Each structure stands twice: as structure tokens, then as C-alpha cells.
Amino acid sequence: MKKFILKFLWLEKSIAVALDQSVNDKITPVTEYFFWPRKDAWEEMKLALEMRPWISQTDSVLLLNQITEVINYWQEKGFMNIKKKDMELLKNRFPDCIFIGYD
């Protein structure tokens, strides 16, 4: 069973997203990290997904929608020093994603 996992680096002045794939309990990186707002991370991920034919159109749309939600949330909340309790809120709000932050 394939499962895709979005990983986010939650930084003070940017956010980065990468995609991993989990198959039979083994996790493999699919993409490098794409940084926003330095570049258009959403567009870079869209192009990366299009270049991987094993990722369905449905999965691509779901992943891109999730990225949009997380980036929008970061824009609202991200310019703060994230604490452990904030990281727990992120994990609860976006349970299918992995977040790495700073203290």
C-alpha cells in the first residue's frame, strides 16, 4: 500500500515542503524541499508531481490542496516562534503531515 507524506520545515521567514512515499513501512523521499516564499513551492511541487507518473492525478490534487492549506496557515501564524504546544496543534490540524519546527 502506497501512502504519500508531506513534510514541512516550519521556519520563521519561510516554509519548505517535501514529499515522501511510504511503501510497506519503508519511507523513501520523492522530492527535495521546495521553499516558499523564496520560490513558488506549490508550483514547483506541481511540476515535480507531473514528472512522476506513478502518482495519480487524484493524489496530486489532494497533496497540492494540503500544501495550499498549510501555506495559508503559515501565512496567518508562521511569523512567530513556534513552541512545542503550537507544533502539537499543527499536527492535530494536519494529521497526515510531518512538521519540523524550531524553538
24 near 96, Cβ under 8 Å? Answer: no
Torsion of CA 84, 21, 13, 95, to 10 degrees: -40
Share the mean pLDDT of the chain.
87
The model's pTM: 0.86
Rounded to whole angstroms, how far apart are CA atoms 2 and 43? 23
pLDDT in tens, 64-102: 999 999 988 888 875 555 666 677 788 888 998 998 875
The per-residue pLDDT for 1 is: 44
Domain boundary assignment for the chain: 2-100
Amino acid at residue number 25: D
Q: What φ, ψ does residue 45 adopt, rounded to 5°?
A: -65, -40
Average pLDDT on 26-55 reads 95
CATH code of the domain made up of 2-100: 3.30.390.140
The per-residue pLDDT for 57 is: 95
Rounded to whole angstroms, how far apart are CA atoms 9 and 99? 6
The per-residue pLDDT for 80 is: 57
* Number of Cβ atoms within 10 Å of the Cβ of 21: 17
Confidence check: pLDDT of 34 > 90: yes
Amino acid at residue number 7: K
